[in-house]
Every structure is written in structure tokens, then in C-alpha cells.
Amino acid sequence: MSAWPSSVGRLGLAGRILFGAALIAALVWLAGPAFVQGLGPALPEARAAGAEEAPAKKPATAEDLDARLKDTAAAARVLLGSSEADGAALEGVRAELIGLRAEVSDRIRAAQTAFDEANQRLKALGPAPAEGAVEPPELADHRASVAADVAEAQVPLVRAQEAASQIDGLTREIDHEIWRRVSVELRAMGPSPLVPRNWIEAAGALRAVAGEARQSLEALAADDKAASAFTRTLPRSLALVIVGVGVTFVLRRRLTRWTERALGRAASARAIAWLVALRNLTRLLVPAVGAVLLFAALDPALLLGTGPIRIFHLPRFVLALIGAGWLASSVFAPRLRQFRLIPLGDGEARRGARLTHLLGLVLAAHFLILDGLSGWQLSPATNSVLHFPLTLAGGIGLWRVSSLVDRVRRTIAARDATLPPEQRVGVFTLKLLGFLERAVWLVGLGAPALAAVGFFAASQTALYPTILTLGLLAAALVLFDLMNKTIRGVLAMPAATPDRGLGPVVIVTLLVLVSAPLLALVWGARPSDIAGFWLLLREGGTLGGIHLSLGNVVSFVGVLLIGIAITRAAQSVLVGSVLPRTRLDIGGKTAVTSGIGYLGYGLAALAAISATGLDLSNIAIVAGALSVGIGFGLQTIVSNFVSGIILLVERPVKEGDWIEVGAFMGYVRRISVRATEIETFDRASVILPNSDLISGTVLNRTHSGMVGRIQVPVSVTYDADPKEVSEMLLAIAEDHPLGLRDPAPVVLLMNLGPDTMDFEIRLWLRDVNFSLSARSDINFAVIEQLIRRGIRVRPYGREFPAGQAGAVAGTVEAEA
């Protein structure tokens, strides 16, 4: 029986998809602040408090920034001078320094702009007069005033640069101290969880924590005001619990089953893209909404009406469980083999889904212990004992995942051996999977061993970042599949069409750029590190006297691409609309199009360089240095390039010409920057360097036009009448359909040999490209007339055999 109402069941596939998306959106809205508007008096008070705590922020002045920098630098020096300084305090000071560095960078840019403007005004006045020269008083006073402005504008620039240098130095010192402490912590050997004495200590610590929690609950229950608030909000809380459980378990399951059944029936790429997106939303948003409702019901601040309501603040362990369920369903798809993202059988896919849930549970328990017991100061032995079962379970899970990754790698390698090159995964991906398999196997065995020995910090640093890295890679794979299917759906590509374009490459590049900072955070980088790296990209550095930054690179690439696009558009307009209306031949049209392309690309490069504000004098120096290398190592390429330009301008050879160069003869098909492509009569391509066409001898049969002359030699014996033979040959030439009447064909007696008289037919053709077929037609006609007239032919001094002559005559008569 269908899980949908009958009215929804009558909708089509698209209608059901939209209905499911609207249902999820409604749940998200219901879990928002509008749904809990009347859940207690705390909400308006919290809003009022938030309004009071957020006064209008005024822009910081230079004096305020200097004062904050002075205080932060003093605090940083105090922390660096103390060996017992808290690591969290060092992290806080570093984050504040990074924020100050960004503000100082803005000050440097503003001061640099003001200084450059004043300096340009001074340069506009020209050089100062030489010693002993006299300058008009008005000009001298103005020059002195502008020089004073330059000096005044230089002061804030130098101060800002000095502040930036100070911040960078303090940041490096703090980083060194933090990493020194991390190194010491990783190498420190603590209590082993395998020692029974540590078990007793951990049990006592947990009993103490439970006792303190019980006392807190008893004190809360004894408070009459809290009890009254609890009674007042209990019905709403129960309603939230019921709705949350229904959303988390009932609605999610029905939506998931309907989506999977619809995916099994979907055929078009667009429907598949919509359903895959809905399936991911079902696995992510619906459990998140249910958890939000449950935690809203269980939040003490909400139950007692004593604090602000935090609707979308879910604990980390809940997010870990939701993420594990989403990845297990999307990556392994145990019930949807055709939408499985990795090549595994059904049994292995179910095993992979179970391993994903196991690692999600381990990660959730780890977060639960860290967040739930963070308020109690537990001893190292207690921490080691509490985390060891999770470390052991996570190590076993990773060890089994490594075997699964190895199985995937072997399956892909075997499949690639049977696929064409454009459909293969590639050697790099196989090597990456091999490295991942070995790394996961090593962590799976090493983390429990380190924890058992007593290296608690080292085991935790290896285990949980590895689990999060696997989750991040799996999430990237799911997003890649979703984006790829969305693009195919938008382009209405058939579902069975393989991916052969650059779309997947672009998607992978975007995912790598987005995942890189997340991966860095997983492996110990701090948000301030990411902010500092982004600041470094923004500011850039100097290379060979040229300032390079992310903004400059983006501006350069953007302007260059725009210029290239405009050039291509102009070429398309010329080829499609302008040049067909002219009388230029195909070679002239190609020359004009190529010239516009070279000009446009050159202007685009100059515009890109100007847009980035690069100093062209420095580029000229670099170009001068490169010219030496060009003169020695690249002179052949430069010669061919210049020869290509000459060919396009002078046009001694153009596309479509019939040329002979050395032993090669054929048609010119393309004149590029470096070489010219000639297509021979047997459809072979000859790539000829342009310099050979300029410096060598070229026979161009169609340079001035398509008219050309052919010569057909004919030899007869002396017993024939020369005039009769001449008239016969002239009549044959005049009857040919490709022959021209002006100039008229000519028959010449070229030679009197020892055995034969040698005649030659000279015929002008209106299209010399048909010279071979015209010569063949004339030879057939000559043979026919010679046989009919009884004129004997003795080529090369030999008699024409009578039998062969009769055979030829019979063939000609049969064809006639």
C-alpha cells in the first residue's frame, strides 16, 4: 500500500518530488523561531537582551587600532614568556592578531593608495631642476607643497607596514610555541588503559560525576519556581517530542522508501537528478529537523523558560549520527544497486553501510564524552580508560574499511581494463585509493596500539581525524554525484550517456578547493590559520619585482578570458555575417580572421596586464632576459611564427591552393602559427614548417586563379598524314567540356624522332583541379580516333602488336 495520500498519489513523478521538497521545507520552517514563538517568556527577553548587547558598531580609527595592537602584543609577550600559559589563551591571542592583521592590511592598502596618488602628482611636475638652475617661484612652492604631501602620506604607510611586521613576528612566535606544545603532548606517555588500577580510578571518577549530577537535579526539583515552569511547559514539550519522534523515524522512513522506489522507476536524467537531491535532503534535513524538535523539548532552558531558545544548535554527536546515516545510504545504497557510488556487490555494500554506522557511532560517542564531561576535571588515567573502548572499536572499523577500499581498487582496475581510455577512472585515482587503503590500515592498527601503551594524545590525533577524513571524502563523492546528475538533468542528457566532457573535471576542481580548508581543519589547523592563509593570498608577494596576489591573478585571468571571448565573438561575426558578403576568397577570409584573432589576443593580454596594475618595466626586463633564450633555443619557432605572419599578409600561399613543395604535392588545408598543413591526393597530411614556404621554392598552381594548362603528348608513325593527325587532335581538344575557347587549344609538332612524329596538345582548362581527369579523357579519345583511322603508333621504337590493337579497338567500340 502506498505511503502517500490518494490525492498525492494521483500526481505525476514531478508533482511528488515537488510535494516532498515542499514538505521538507515546511518542516524546516516549523522548526524555526516562528514555531516556538509562544514557548515561554524567555524569547522576547532574549531578543531584547540581544538588542541591548548589539549596539551600532563604529568603524575603528587608527588610534583605536594602535591601542588594541599594543594591548594584544603585550598580552602575547606575557603568554610567550610563561611556560605555564594556557594553550587556549595562546589560541585566542593568535586569533585576535589575525583579525588585527586583516585590519592593518586594509590600512596598508588605503595608505598605499594615498601615497601613490601624491607620488604621481609629484612625478607629474617633472624632475627637479638641476643644481644651479632656476625654477619659477610659483612652481617651486607647488613642488614643495606636493613633496610635503608625499612625506605626510608616507607616514601612515610606514606605520602600518611596521605594525604588520610586528603582528607577523608575534604570530610566528605563537605558532612555534603552540606546535612545540603539541609535539610534546604527542610524544608524552601517559597511563595505560590496560592497567586495572586505572579502571578503579575511572570508576570512582564516574561515580563522582554521577553524584554531582544527581545533586544538581535534586536541587532543581526542590525549586518551586522551576517546578512551576516545568509543569507549565510540559504539554508543549510532550508535543515536540511526539512530533520529533514522528519526523525522525516515521516520516523519514516513508520519504526514503518512496524516493528509492521512484528512483528505481525513473528513466530521464532530470527526474533522476531531482530524486537524488530529494533523497539526500531526506537523509539530512528530516533527521536534523526531528533532532531539533527533540532537543527543543529536552532543553532545560526551554522547559523552565529561563534562557534563550537555541533552535538549530545541535550537539556534535547528533550531527555525527546524521552524517553517518546519510553517507551510508548515499554512498553504498544497499537497496539501490544502480545508484551505488562505488563498485561493490550487494553484500559488500551492506557491510560498508554497517561500517559507516559503526564509525559514526564511535565519533558520536567521542564527541559526547568530550562535550558532556568537559565541565569535570578528569585525570589522564580516567580519560584513557573512557576512550580506549572507542579507540579499539574505531581501529577495528578502520581496519575493515581498509580491506573494503582495497576491494574497490581491485574492482575498478579490473573494470578499467575492459573500458576505452576516455571512460577509465585513471592511474592517479587507483594510486590514491592504494595510498588511502594503506594509510587507513596503518591507523586502524596503530591507534589502538598507541592507546594501549599509553600514548593517548597520539592515538586520538591519528584515529578521529582519519574517520573525519573518510567522511569528508565520502561527502565529496556524494556531492560530485549530485552535481554531475544535476548538470546532466539540466542539459537533458540521456541517463546512459557516459561522461566525456570537462564537466566532471570542473566539479572535482571545485570540490577540491572547498574541501582543502575543511581537511586542514580536520588535521589540526585552526580557523585563524585558514584566515591567515587567505590573508596571505590576498596580499600576495613579490616575484622578480612583480607583485603577485590572488586578486591580481583573478583580475588577470578574468580580463584575459573576457578579451578572448570578445575576440572569438568578433571572429564568429566576421565568419558568419561579414566575410560572406565580400568578394574575398577562402584564403583571404582566413587571413582576415586570423589577423583579428592575433590582434584581439594581444589586446586582451595588454588589457589584463594593465588591469592588474603590473609594472610593465619589470615585465620588459624579464622579456629581455627571455629574448636571449629565444634567440638561442627558440629561434626556429620564432622563425616559423614570423613566416606564418608573412604568409597571412603577403599570401603567396593560401588555403585551398594546389602547391608543390619538394617531393610533396597537394592542397593547402590550414596555415597555423608554426606550420602549414598540406593534404596530398591520397588524403595524407604533410605538416610543413612555415619557414620552408618562405625561404624555399614553391610551385603554386592556383595562386592567380583556377585556370590552368595541360599538355598531352601523342606520337604517330611516319606513314600518317601530319595535317590529318593535327586536325584530329585539335578537334578532340576543342570538344572537351572543360576546355576554354579563349585562349584556344593548340596542337604542336614538337619533335621528329627516328621512328615517330611527336605531337603535343595544349589545352587551357577553366579549373586546373580537373587536369588529371581531362588528360585521361583526351587520351581515351585519341586512342579511339587512331584505331578508327588506322594510324599506327610505335611508342619507344616498338611496333604496336596487332592482337593488342584489336583488343583495344574492341574495348573502345564496346564502350562507345
Lowest pLDDT segment from 423-427, 505-509, 693-697, 789-793: 423-427
Question: Under 8 Å CB-to-CB from 141, ≥6 apart: which residues?
Answer: none
CB–CB of 733/739 below 8 Å? Answer: yes
> Which one, of 665, 691, 694, lies nearest residue 678 by Cα?
665
Confidence check: pLDDT of 677 > 80: yes
631 or 369: whose pLDDT is higher? Answer: 369
Confidence check: pLDDT of 612 > 50: yes
CA–CA gap between residue 17 and residue 29 (Å, rounded): 18
pTM above 0.85, yes or no: no
Consecutive H or E run containing 741: none
CA–CA gap between residue 303 and residue 309 (Å, rounded): 10
Q: How many helices (H) and strands (E) does the chain have?
A: 26, 10
Determine the residue type at 135.
E
**Confidence band, pLDDT 50/70/90 cuts, at residue 397:** very high
Angle of the 224-245 helix axis to the 269-298 helix axis, nearest 10: 160
User: What residues does 758 pair with on adjacent strands?
Assistant: 715, 751
CA–CA gap between residue 408 and residue 184 (Å, rounded): 38
CB–CB of 549/115 below 8 Å? Answer: no
pLDDT at res. 71: 86
Confidence check: pLDDT of 810 > 70: no
Query: Would you identify the CATH topology of the domain 646-700?
Result: SH3 type barrels. (2.30.30)
Confidence check: pLDDT of 355 > 90: yes
**Chain segment 555-598, per-residue pLDDT in tens:** 888 898 999 999 999 988 888 888 888 877 676 777 788 788 88
171 or 248: whose pLDDT is higher? Answer: 171
The pLDDT mean for the chain works out to 79
Locate 373 and state its grid cell.
Answer: 564531561
407 or 82: whose pLDDT is higher? Answer: 407
Outline where DSSP puts E strands in 633-772. Answer: 658-661, 664-671, 675-680, 685-689, 699-700, 708-717, 746-752, 756-765
Lowest pLDDT segment from 54-63, 650-659, 694-703: 54-63
Rounded to an integer, the average pLDDT of 100-125 is 86
766 or 546: whose pLDDT is higher? Answer: 766
458 or 47: whose pLDDT is higher? Answer: 458
Phi, psi values for residue 308, rounded to 5°:
-70, 150
Rounded to an integer, the average pLDDT of 534-562 is 75
Rounded to an integer, the average pLDDT of 477-500 is 73
CA–CA gap between residue 42 and residue 27 (Å, rounded): 23
CB–CB of 397/358 below 8 Å? Answer: yes
**Confidence band, pLDDT 50/70/90 cuts, at residue 495:** low
Confidence check: pLDDT of 268 > 90: no
**Confidence band, pLDDT 50/70/90 cuts, at residue 45:** very low
Rounded to an integer, the average pLDDT of 205-209 is 81
Query: Would you identify the CATH topology of the domain 708-815?
Result: Alpha-Beta Plaits (3.30.70)
Sheet holding 699-700, edge to edge: 685-689, 675-680, 664-671, 658-661, 699-700
Confidence check: pLDDT of 141 > 60: yes
CA–CA gap between residue 289 and residue 372 (Å, rounded): 22
CA–CA gap between residue 112 and residue 590 (Å, rounded): 48
CB–CB of 749/757 below 8 Å? Answer: yes
Rounded to an integer, the average pLDDT of 712-718 is 91
pLDDT at res. 733: 92
Parallel, antiparallel or unpaired: strands 658-661 and 756-765: unpaired
Locate 699 and state its grid cell.
Answer: 610551385
DSSP single-letter state for residue 744: P
Confidence check: pLDDT of 412 > 80: yes
Rounded to an integer, the average pLDDT of 763-788 is 91
CA–CA gap between residue 200 and residue 192 (Å, rounded): 13
pLDDT at res. 543: 60
494 or 246: whose pLDDT is higher? Answer: 246
| 743 preceded by a cis bond (ω within 30 of 0) | yes
CA–CA gap between residue 371 and residue 386 (Å, rounded): 14
Share of the chain above pLDDT 70, in %: 81
pLDDT at res. 783: 92
**Buried residues in 159-194 as b, exposed as e (16+ CB within 10 A):** bbeebbebbeebbebbbebbeeeeeeebeeebbbbe
Q: Name the 3-class secondary structure at 196.
A: helix
Confidence check: pLDDT of 343 > 70: yes
Consecutive H or E run containing 548: strand 546-548
Query: Any idea where the domains of the chain sit in the sequence?
Result: 12-49+223-314, 62-124+145-187, 548-633, 646-700, 708-815
Confidence check: pLDDT of 307 > 60: no
Outline where DSSP puts E strands in 351-500. Answer: none
SS (H, E, C) 279-335: HHHHHHHHHHHHHHHHHHHHCHHHHHCCCCCCCCCCCHHHHHHHHHHHHHHHHHCCC
> DSSP H helical segments within 373-455, as ranges?
380-416, 427-453
pLDDT at res. 496: 53
The most confident of 243-252, 577-586, 711-720, by mean pLDDT = 711-720
Locate 655 and state its grid cell.
Answer: 588555403
**Buried residues in 300-329 as b, exposed as e (16+ CB within 10 A):** eebbbbeeebebeeeeebbbbbbbbbbbbb
Parallel, antiparallel or unpaired: strands 685-689 and 708-717: unpaired
CA–CA gap between residue 624 and residue 373 (Å, rounded): 67
Confidence check: pLDDT of 151 > 70: yes
Confidence check: pLDDT of 117 > 50: yes
Locate 214 and state its grid cell.
Answer: 544527581
383 or 426: whose pLDDT is higher? Answer: 383
For 7-30, give the DSSP string.
HHHTS-HHHHHHHHHHHHHHHHHH
Q: What Å distances lie between residue 248 and 52, 75, 360, 471, 618, CA to CA?
A: 37, 48, 17, 22, 64
Dihedral of CA atoms 58, 61, 67, 70 in degrees, nearest 10, equals 110
